[in-house]
Amino acid sequence: MKKKFIKMLCSIAIGCMIGTSCIAKVSAAPINNTKIKSNEINISENSSKSERIPSTKSKPLGLNATKANTAKYSFNDLNKLSSKEILDLTSKIKWSDISDLFQYNNDSYAFYSNRERVQALIDGLYEKASTYTSTDDKGIDTLVEILRSGFYLGFYNDSLKYLNDRSFQDKCIPAMIAIENNKNFKLGEKGQDTVINALGKLIGNASCNAEVVNKTVPILEQYYREMNKYPKDKLKADAVYSLMKEINYDISQYTYDHNIRDGKNTPWSSKIDPFINTISKFAGISKVTEDNGWIINNGIYYTSKFAIYHSNSSIPHSVIDKCLEILPAYSEQYYIAVERIKEDFNCKDSKGNVIDIDKLLEDGKKHYLPKTYTFDNGKMIIKAGDKVDESKIQRLYWASKEVKSQFHRIIGNDKPLQAGNADDILTMVIYNSPEEYKLNRTLYGYSVDNGGIYIEGIGTFFTYERTPEESIYSLEELFRHEFTHYLQGRYLVPGLFNEGDFYKGNSGRITWFEEGSAEFFAGSTRTSVLPRKSMVGGLSQNPKERFSADKILHSKYDDGWEFYKYGYAFSDYMYNNNKKLFSDLVSTMKNNDVKGYENLIENASKDPNVNKNYQDHMQKLVDNYNNYTIPLVSDDYMKKYNNKSLNEIKSDIENTMNLTNSQITKESSQYFDTYTLKANYTLDSNKGEIDNWNYMNNKVNESLEKLNKLGWGGYKTVTAYFSNPKVNSHNQVEYNVVFQGLLTHNKNFNEAPTIKLDFPKEANTDEKIKFSSEGSADDGKIVSYTWDFGDGEASSERNPTHAYKTPGTYTVKLTVTDDKGLKSEKSASINIKKVLKGNIVSEKENNNDYVNANPVYSKDLVNGSVSSSDDRDIFYFNVTKPSDITINVEKINKDKSEFSWLLFSEEDKSNYITYPNKELENLFYSTVKIDKPGKYYLVIYKVSGEKSDYRFNIEGDISASPKDDTDKDELVISEKEDNNSFDKANRVCKNQSVIATLDTNDPRDTYYFDALTAGNIEVTMGNTDNSSNEFNWLAYSSDNTNNYIGYATKREGNKITGNFKVDKPGRYYIVAYKTSSNKINYKLNIKGDIDNAPKNDEIYEKENNDSFETANKIMLNTTVLGNLNGKDVRDIYSFDIKEAKDLDIKLNNLNNLGLAWNLYKESDLNNYIAYGSVSGNTIKGKCNVAPGKYYLYVYKYSGDNGNYSLAIK
């Protein structure tokens, strides 16, 4: 029986995710386990997006603007260190800081060939094992990776084979046990979780014994008890998974090496029951959730795998039996149990009863794939989930015709290489979603760590429907890619995948071509192959990061997924600029000429012109990215047309080209009938292979265009190709030509609704945008509208309104459903710009260093510029709590000058936190998660040009301006210098806050307030620079300015607060001062029963006003605020009367003083003409006066210190 081989078809992996958790399994090395392959269940693979980091030239002058944790050491460096120095170093660096870890070279050989050094590292691990803490792993993670790297290299290189000897690897066991004996060996802080994870990985690459295994039980038990506390904690999940996986790996390796199949007579047999019993607890969880699905999966898997080592294997076996009873039917976990019973227990339960596994699998297939569609007289079969829309199924069929037409044109062959293969009938299996696709592992037995997979040996490929959030590639794109693999195996490459001559001796020989050209042909249309925006977008913006011709022509699956995009670009380059190379490569494959192929690759990879032209072509693709689309089948395929006979169609096609020997046949499909017309075409002259191809390509496309103009809509579904060129008996070049298209629809066909989208192409953030579907129609009735705005928001309205919160280009999709359940969807892009808003402020020079950085607040919109003479501006802001911070910097001038920016923390001004990793026209922005509140610096710097003008704002939880950081009823005032002494103190009233500054020349500020009653006073002083340890305040009474009566007692964030009691009304002082040499910006607030601030029509008395000569002049109908005390017992005011009138005089006593007033006329200052009478706290009186000047004499006759208000009306 021939082995079934797999062709990986997806453009990007989604991860081997036998679980429902978002937690990802991340290997610490390029190849995590390197000895043998096992059928283990991973949680998932980590998928990361590469980011474009600033180039060297973009770094601010004078700043060490480097990203932290870049590769800092190589084995060449490590070879120069002693063992002790290496051990010390592991506590200071991460394993990723060693650039050539897991790589074999002269330096790594020199490092690991020194047995004494390796032994010293193992001994060092033992010492570290007893000293790690909950927060500090003591470098164990890095040291373990160095050891694992050695064992890895020892497995693959005979020169280091001593490292692959189990007896040597056993030397790590004492260190492992020491790790487990440490009191901190438990799940908890990062240091603990990291060490547990490292232990698991070391077991996998070294070895373990029963003691090591059983000492992991407390960790598994703890996770079982507490996993609901940290459902999303990836590090803890990794640690637990690592232990189970790597212990199984090491035991499996041992039994493989010793040819033990029954689990008997191993170092673990009947000795690790506690470990197996604990794992089985996870398998016994019956309530499956999004968070625990992955651990149930692995509990089932490893309970089953370890069962043969249990002292009574029926115990773990019975746990798996129980899974079929307690788990939800058809769930992923249920079918993992089914798979284990089949694989590990020979389809029997723990009592020996046979379980009909085949029936369970068939039931699962019927459940997940209830729909079957047939096309082309049964030559194409699609099995699909019930949620895969029927219109999409039909579109996939038509997509296959477009891909097929362009494939055969370029390949030049449409005759199967081998007759009678399974691919005579193509079967496609399409699941409803990525989650359901995971079941394919059990139901059909194939890998699911991909976006699609083609099994050539059975002529079937498997994939799934997906949303834009689940994949950047649509179902049709993936289908087109996978269908190309079907065509490659059937018409291009002889032999089954991985079996034919092209796979012998080098299984990756044509990998780049198979995957790259599959991505290329996915862009097929009826007439050509177009650039795919989804592919071009994956090419690096930086030319230096792109693949060379040599690199892409030798790329394999082991190199990751990136080569798919560059293989696509090389195929597109050949199609447009080097058809000769494309044709030659194809010819060697069709002719099974491996040597000829290798010669072509060798020559092309070394040809500088090929590489230059390839690079130029990629640059052209990148430059024109915005002009590209994603080629998909048009709506013309989904419309009903009037019937047309085969003879009419045959005649029309023949009239467009001078065809001979034409024959037309009909094929039946589930929804329609199609036709295939086959004929010959003879060239007038032979102009050579490439010119002949170009002529035929144009000729066939001209024919399609002529058919389009005939008026029958069905001709818009016609695809055509030419192939199999040969020289006939008259020495003429003759081609086979094939036309395929729609003939007529049958009763099963429901015409899809037509959609009309209407909305602006551009708008701004927060702008309400109107979206319209007016003009959409159906042959029946449209019953629902579903809008997907591309930002996670949706609407079911017919004509909704929506606003975008963040800038960017969004794909808006409208899906409509008719009354028969048929759906249509249409998409279009909208470009959302960001208009920066805020209170406009300008940078203040000189702000070129951190000391003189300008402050930025939450509502600021800062304008500035950098130039040749002023190459950087530095600003600071304070993050008030952990949050996402977005920095938006917009270039104002339209010239070619360039600037950039970097963000630093106050604690580390050498390593930047982020840079503008997003760009939208002239806006350069980034969002970064800040975990630690504090001060941060934004450095904007010139890159090129004479001058760049910019503006920016900062979004997130940052400090507000002191002027804004007030209560609604609070008035902000500024200090007035000189206020450094009690006699020059600034007044502060109720509901007032003072903003002020302390520096080297002004280390002290003094304020006073007037207490109206005895009671509690609260003073708050906040440092707007976010540091509370560089300033303080003290409180004094006016009766005694030598001894303070209050001070700050509480520190909270950037504020200090204190409370003190005043035992009587009167005047009190607050002295604010700084305790360091730094400049301090602060805000001061006083709360309590203190005097109110004057209103707009109020004035303060001005001392000295104790005599008639120094009297304060006042206006009628104005309120005057004054104070009297032991040293100031009277105040005198003057006012003018222009006409005779009655005066109403009121003196309000604010502090229970003994107060009185007398009224004098200027002509007689010895005798008063009126006085006030006491009425509660008011001394009031009335008097009729003639024109002239008058004086009001206010005095106290009892009490120490108090305030008053005076009004004359």
**Is residue 367 exposed (0-12), middle (13-18) or buried (19+ Cβ within 10 Å)?**
middle
3-state secondary structure 1014-1027: CEEEEEEEEECCCC
For strands 380-384 and 426-431, give the pairing: parallel
What's the CA gap between 1051 and 1032, in Å, rounded? 10
- Report how far residue 1172's alpha carbon sits from residue 1192's, in angstroms, rounded to the nearest whole number: 11
488, two tokens: 């490659």
| N-to-C CA span, the chain | 115
Catalytic residue chosen out of the listed positions 482, 514, 562, 751? 482
Residue listed under structure tokens 């007439």: 527
Residues 93, 96, 99: CA angle, nearest 5 degrees: 105
E strands along 892-985, which residues?
898-905, 918-920, 923-930, 934-944, 947-955, 971-974
User: What is the rounded distance in angstroms from the CA atom of residue 288 to the CA atom of residue 17?
Assistant: 16
Q: Is 657 left (phi over 0), alpha (psi -120 to 50) or beta?
A: beta
Cα–Cα distance, 1051 to 1022 (Å, whole number):
10
Q: Helix, strand, coil proportions of the chain in percent (round to 5)?
A: 30, 30, 40
Beta-bridged to residue 930, according to DSSP, are 883
275 phi and psi angles, rounded to 5 deg: -65, -45
The answer to whether 332 is a known catalytic residue is no
Q: Please name the residues in contact with 77: beta carbons below 8 A apart, sequence gap of 6 or more.
A: none
- How many CB atoms neighbour CB 260 within 10 A? 15
**CA trace torsion 639, 642, 643, 644 (10° rounding):** -100
Residue 1057 CA to its chain's centroid (Å): 41
> What are the distances in angstroms from CA 870 to CA 682, 866, 887?
72, 5, 22
The pair of three-digit structure tokens given for residue 230, joined into one six-digit string: 């940290």
- Contact (Cβ atoms closer than 8 angstroms) between residue 489 and residue 459: no
Tokens of 592: 């099974």
Q: Interior CA angle at 562 toward 556 and 566, to 5°?
A: 85
CA dihedral 1198, 1200, 1203, 1209 (to 10 degrees): 20
| 986-987 sheet: strands from edge to edge | 986-987, 1004-1011, 1066-1074, 1031-1037, 1046-1047
Q: Which long-range contacts (CB under 8 A, 24 or more apart) does 1109-1112 make?
A: 1111/1191
Closest alpha carbon to 942 in 851, 845, 887, 865: 865
Fill in the amino acid letter for 1095.
Answer: K
Give yes or no for a contact between 571 and 519, defined as CB atoms under 8 angstroms apart: yes
Strand pairing report for 1202-1208 and 1170-1171: unpaired
Please report, for residues 31, 142, 730, 876, the alpha-carbon distance to residue 97 in angstroms, rounded to integers and kept in the order given: 17, 9, 70, 31
Distances (CA, A) of 85 to 92, 121, 759, 837: 11, 11, 65, 54
Element (H, E) at 696: helix 689-708
Contacts of 349 (CB under 8 A, 6+ apart): 317, 318, 321, 341, 355
Supply the residues annotated as catalytic: 482
